[in-house]
């Protein structure tokens, strides 16, 4: 994008998250429409690139297979398994262990999140949480 010294990544992250927040919150865009339009634009660019290359007798750019490898899926599943097991161990401590203190903490935290969630949209909360991290 552009270089802004040592904090270029932070600025890029802030600008990108602000643009996405504006698209989804203020402009009324939703995620499925956004993904669909981006994929349609990508396919259209590749189609017209291929047609123009054949008309101008130029070589096509090599395009790798667009697929998700099995090892990436396995890594993601392993990482997800760790988080799910942690959540299940907390649930077990509450249900079977009778840990009243942990139950009250989880209940109060859920009520607090629910109360705050009534005032903001989910994307606005993500954006507010992201802005202090990027500064």
Inside any domain, residue 52: yes
Distance, in Å, from the CA atom of 13 to the CA atom of 130, rounded to the nearest integer, reads 9
Q: How many domains does the chain have?
A: 1
Q: What is the pLDDT of residues 12-71, one digit of tens each?
A: 878 887 887 787 777 777 776 777 888 888 888 878 887 887 788 887 777 677 788 899
Inside any domain, residue 135: yes
Residue pair 113/106 in contact (Cβ under 8 Å)? The answer is no
Inside any domain, residue 22: yes
Question: pTM of the entire structure?
Answer: 0.42
Instruction: Name the pLDDT band for 1 (thresholds 50, 70, 90).
Output: very low
Q: What is the extent of the structural domain holding 1?
A: 1-62+121-135
Task: Please give the pLDDT value at position 46.
Answer: 78
Inside any domain, residue 27: yes
**Which residues, 6 or more positions from 12, have their beta carbon under 8 angstroms from its beta carbon?**
1, 2
Distance, in Å, from the CA atom of 20 to the CA atom of 22, rounded to the nearest integer, reads 5
Inside any domain, residue 70: no
Burial class (CB in 10 A: 0-12, 13-18, 19+), 24: buried
Inside any domain, residue 85: no
Inside any domain, residue 45: yes
Inside any domain, residue 96: no
């Amino acid at each position: 994008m552009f270089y802004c010294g040592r904090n270029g990544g932070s600025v890029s992250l802030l600008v990108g998250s602000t643009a996405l927040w504006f698209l989804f919150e203020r402009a009324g865009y939703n995620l499925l429409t956004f993904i669909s339009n981006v994929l349609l634009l990508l396919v259209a660019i590749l189609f017209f690139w291929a047609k123009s290359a054949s008309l101008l007798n130029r070589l096509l750019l090599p395009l790798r297979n667009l697929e998700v490898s099995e090892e990436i899926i396995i890594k993601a599943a392993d990482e997800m398994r760790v988080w799910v097991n942690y959540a299940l161990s907390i649930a077990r401590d509450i249900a079977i262990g009778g840990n009243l203190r942990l139950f009250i903490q989880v209940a109060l935290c859920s009520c607090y999140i629910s109360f705050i969630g009534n005032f903001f949209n989910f994307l606005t909360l993500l954006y507010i949480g992201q802005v202090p991290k990027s500064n």
